[in-house]
Amino acid sequence: MNVLEAIEGRISTRAYLDKPVADETVRRILDVARWSPSGVNTQPWKVAVVKGEALARLSQALLARQAEGARPAPDYQYYPGEWVAPYKERRFQCGMDLYKALGIGREDREKRLEAALNNYRFFGAPVSLFFFMDKSLGQGSWLDMGMFIQSVMLAAREFGLGSCPQASTADYPDLVREATGMSDDQLLLCGLALGYPDPEHPVNRYRTRRENVGNFTVWVE
């Protein structure tokens, strides 16, 4: 698979086969991703690979915390406090297209909630990677982390794996830190579901829409 195919074909995979991912495959993916760029070679990334019974326990803990009515308390604010155009419309369209792929009607609140809770089940993926960085680092390291996570997702495609970056699994960072043994000085950015995609599930045939290059590019000569 060439780089262009890997980028253009990447999707947020939300349904996985009941098939384990070899530890050596995950190690190889991380071994490739470690060559991602970072300012002055800081290499800010720390990764926790969670699978098996540990992942099941974490899933149960996240679901239980949500069922208690606890408000998410992530280490940082991912989304804006108030949505404005054009981002508000893109967010709405993304949700509508996803629910359509899942066969969920606009007024079916119960099924919408269940779809949301599937985030805490990691969509059935056998592995989840959690990405951390030291809280003492500056904003530039957030860019570095984004490039590293993208490298992980693209490298995974070489092995026939799908992935889904999940800010939602960082809703309760204390639970993730407890499960992974990470200290409080490590900021949790997100999780990443990882596994073999279920090609028959309709949700994996859904794709978000993209703006044309001309709509976001300025050429200066």
Task: Write out pLDDT tens, residues 194-213.
Answer: 999 999 999 999 899 999 99
100 lies in some domain? yes
Q: Are 173 and 179 in contact (CB under 8 A)?
A: no
pLDDT in tens, 111-144: 888 988 999 999 999 999 999 999 999 999 999 9
Q: Is residue 193 included in any domain, yes or no?
A: yes
pLDDT at 34: 98
**HSE of 51 in the Cβ direction (CA atoms, 13 Å)?**
13
In a domain, 219, yes or no: no
**213, part of any domain:** no
pLDDT at 113: 86
- Averaged confidence pLDDT in the chain: 96
Q: Does residue 14 sit within a domain?
A: yes
The answer on pLDDT for 1 being more than 90 is: no
In angstroms, rounded to a whole number, what is the distance separating the alpha carbons of residues 64 and 196? 27
For the cut 90, the answer to whether the pLDDT of residue 105 exceeds it is no
* The pLDDT of residue 168 is above 90: yes
